[in-house]
């Protein structure tokens, strides 16, 4: 079985019907990587108009590291103690979570694949201090 480095993307998402991205940015003192207000309209790359179904404020780790701890540390250190209140207590925030997306190429032989990752005690403590749930999505894809 060939072991390849997975593609990792780690992001902090704050979502809610009444979420105001500008207010979240003011409270945290950070600009998001992505944001939208509920009802906002935008055009897709195929020139289709879409309307946002909820408010979103997202901060994506910028490092290209394949080390999950490095990516988590990047985000939790940016947030740090910036919020005077827990992230879920920010007005308009109904959901706050760290999203970990992992994609790895399938093995050529059998189409399967594996990858391993680890959350250290320090990672878990950082996430606990941030007060967010963690979601994992793992995709094994044929190239």
* DSSP strands (E only) in the chain: 7-16, 34-36, 41-43, 49-51, 55-60, 95-105, 133-141
pLDDT tens-place string over residues 29-50: 999 999 999 999 989 899 999 9
Q: Look at strands 41-43 and 49-51 and give their pairing.
A: antiparallel
Predicted TM-score (pTM) of the model is 0.82
Q: Measured between alpha carbons, how far is 18 from 94 in angstroms, rounded to an integer?
A: 9
The tokens of 32 are what? 């998001």
Among 72, 89, 62, which residue's Cα sits nearest to residue 125? 72
What pLDDT is stored for residue 50 in this prediction? Answer: 92
pLDDT tens-place string over residues 69-128: 899 988 888 887 665 568 888 999 999 999 999 887 777 776 666 777 888 888 888 888
What pLDDT is stored for residue 2 in this prediction? Answer: 44
């Amino acid at each position: 079985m060939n072991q390849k480095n997975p593609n990792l993307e780690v992001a902090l998402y704050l979502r809610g019907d009444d979420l105001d991205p500008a207010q979240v940015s003011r409270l945290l003192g950070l600009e998001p990587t992505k944001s939208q207000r509920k009802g906002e309209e935008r055009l897709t790359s195929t020139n289709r108009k879409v309307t946002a179904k909820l408010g979103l404020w997202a901060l994506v780790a910028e490092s290209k590291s394949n080390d999950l701890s490095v990516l988590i540390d990047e985000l939790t250190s940016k947030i740090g103690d910036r919020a005077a209140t827990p992230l879920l207590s920010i007005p308009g925030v109904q959901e706050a979570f760290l999203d970990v997306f992992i994609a790895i190429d399938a093995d050529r032989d059998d189409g399967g694949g594996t990858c391993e990752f680890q959350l250290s005690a320090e990672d878990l403590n950082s996430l606990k201090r941030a007060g967010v749930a963690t979601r994992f999505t793992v995709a094994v894809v044929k190239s």
